[in-house]
Amino acid sequence: MRIRLDLGYDGTDFSGWAAQPGRRTVEGELTAALGTVLRLAEPPRLVVAGRTDAGVHARGQVVHVDVPVEAWQRVPGRSERPPERALVVRLRSVLAPDLVVHRATVAPPGFDARFAATSRRYAYRICDEPAALDPLRRHDTVVLDGPLDVVRMTGAATDLLGLRDFAAFCRRREGATTVRTLVAYTWSRDADGIVVGTVVADAFCHSMVRALVGAVVPVGLGRAPIDFPAAVLAARTRDPRVKVMPAHGLCLEEVTYPPDDELADRVRTARAVRTPPST
C-alpha cells in the first residue's frame, strides 16, 4: 500500500535530499528510519516531490513510499493509536531533531508525490542590512550589502513567467527537459525587513530557483537593468553574470496536488514531454 509522508527539515547539516554513500542525506536518514520502524527486510524506495540540494531547507516536503500491508498493520504494536499516528510517533523516536515527519496518511489511488504535484512553492530570504540580521535566523537567511529594491526585483521577475525553456537557469542533465511553467515570482519585505522572494512553478530543474534569484538580485542592487533576467532567459544558455545564490536562504514551503479524482490525469500530463511556445 502507498503511504504519503509530509515532512520538514533544517537542511544545514544534510548533503541534500538524495542518498549518497558516506554522506548524511534526508533520503538516507528517512529510509533507514522507515526500515527500522516498519521492520522491513529491504530498505524502502522513497519518491519525493522535489529533490533539494545540500543546505536547502523544507517545511512542506512530500514523499510517498510503498509498504507491505502487514507492515503497515503492525505499526501500532500494543498501542491503540491508528497506524497513521503511530508511524509519526515512532519515527520521531528514531529521527534526529532536524528532520520531522508531520503526517503519515494512506495515499489515494493514483497518488504520486513527484508526478501528481501541480506546483512547488519556494521562499528565498535575504537580509540587505547586515547589522539587522537576527542571529537565530543565520542558517536560513542570506546576508547582502544592500539596499535591495523589491519593486524593481518583482518587475524583473514578472518577465520570466509562463511556459518557457529555462535552460539559462538550470544545470543541464542528459535527457532531461528544461521546460517549466513559472506560475509566480515576486519579492517583498516581511515585518522584520527581510527581503523574501516567492517562486512557484509546476516543477523546477537543478539549481533553477537559486539561479532565478541570482538573476534578479543585481537588478535590486541597481547593477543591472530591469530587463536583464529576461535577456538571459531568451539566450537559453548559462550567463556568468548570473550567480547561483547560497543554498541556505532557500526553503521548500509547499507542494500542491489536484483533487483525488484528477490524480491519474495529472500524472499522465506531468510525464508528457513539454515544449515552450514558439517565438
Task: Return the active site residues.
Answer: 53
Q: What share of the chain is helix, strand, coil (3-state, %, to 5)?
A: 30, 25, 45
Q: Which three cell numbers stand for residue 96?
A: 534526529
Q: Please tell me the distance from the alpha carbon of residue 198 to that of residue 183, in angstroms, as a whole number.
A: 10
**Runs of H (alpha helix) within the chain:** 26-38, 69-73, 83-94, 150-158, 208-220, 228-235, 263-271
Q: Which of 217, 179, 173 is nearest to 197 (CA)?
A: 217
Whether 227 contacts 260, CB under 8 Å:
no
Q: Which of 206, 144, 182 is nearest to 16 (CA)?
A: 206
According to DSSP, the β-strands at 119-127 and 142-143 are parallel
> Can you spell out the DSSP letters for 248-275?
GGEEEEEEE---GGGHHHHHHHHHSPP-
**Separation of first and last alpha carbons in the chain:** 46
